[in-house]
Amino acid sequence: MSSLSSMVEGEFLDFEYRDRLITVYLPKEYHLWLERVFPAVFLQDGDFLFKEYINVIESNVRDGLAEPVIFIGIDSQHRNDEYTPWEMGALHSDWSFGGKGEQYLDVVYDELVPYMLNRFRISHEPKDLALGGVSLGGLISLYAMYRKEQIFGKFILISASVWFKDFLKYMETNELVGDPQIYMYIGMQEGATKTNVQRFMVPNSVVAYGMLKERIVDSEHRVKFESDPEGTHTDPYFLKYFPNGIQFLFGELSSKNG
């Protein structure tokens, strides 16, 4: 049920919840500070974003750059359906989008989060709970900001697929819930070789960032946008910038603006 690498200070747990694989990372402090509740980051695509670079995150904690957090990776076997807010035609012959994001978020918000808060010592405060993902996982995390329930007060959007059909229009015509704290990253070469709607990856990301900055109170401190001039839509860039998001959301600055 658990696996612990000798190079990792914390602990990884794998288990199934409603036929879905969940991977949890508990920082070493979880077993040392027994009276404390911890912040938690819920992430799409299982342990993809946090497991490989957990040593960087643990180093930031040791150096006082970020507080220890619990990571919860949520696996999906149908990401093109679960990570899209509405249906969209295929960009390739076998790559259509089912638009079942609302149902997926219902499971996360109404079932998984309460289960995890009950099972582990996790804070119930929105300022201590983050939702995030990469690509389509970032898209559905951004979409979640517009839900009525303010369970999550922080969001990590790594190369979010805001090229998705009518998504900028959705952002323009709907109201955000509260004033979340947000970390966004985009590689400036993403979509550069595409001829379909994915070619709008970078310009749409810039527009989305502008909308969020305009609508969030104290956005200068609550919204951070990073880019890499050479960044492509590939794993090395996603993983490189993810720890920056954790440091921004759960570092010294977050304690002042949570």
Give pLDDT, residue 4.
41
Percent of the chain with pLDDT over 70: 93
What's the maximum distance between 2 C-alpha atoms anywhere in the chain? 54
Q: Give the closest residue to 202 by CA, choosing from 167, 139, 160.
A: 160
Q: Which band of pLDDT confidence, cut at 50, 70 and 90, is reported for residue 35?
A: very high
**Helix axis angle, 54-62 relative to 235-250, nearest 10°?**
30
Residue 219 vs residue 89, higher pLDDT: 219
pLDDT digits (tens, 9 = 90+) for 165-189: 999 999 999 999 889 999 999 999 9
Indicate the pTM of the whole model.
Answer: 0.93
Is residue 253 predicted with pLDDT exceeding 50? no
How many whole angstroms separate alpha carbon 114 and alpha carbon 119? 9
- Whether 145 and 106 have beta carbons less than 8 Å apart is answered as no
Indicate the range of 9-13, 94-98, 155-159, 179-183 predicted with least confidence.
Answer: 94-98
Average of per-residue pLDDT across 85-111: 85
pLDDT digits (tens, 9 = 90+) for 112-143: 999 999 999 999 999 999 999 999 999 999 99
pLDDT at 93: 65
Express as a percent the part of the chain with pLDDT over 90.
85
Domain chopping of the chain, boundaries: 2-257
Q: What is the pLDDT of residues 207-226, one digit of tens each?
A: 999 999 999 999 999 999 99
CATH: 3.40.50.1820, 3.20.20.70, 3.40.50.300, 3.40.640.10. Which one for 2-257?
Answer: 3.40.50.1820
Report pLDDT for 83.
96
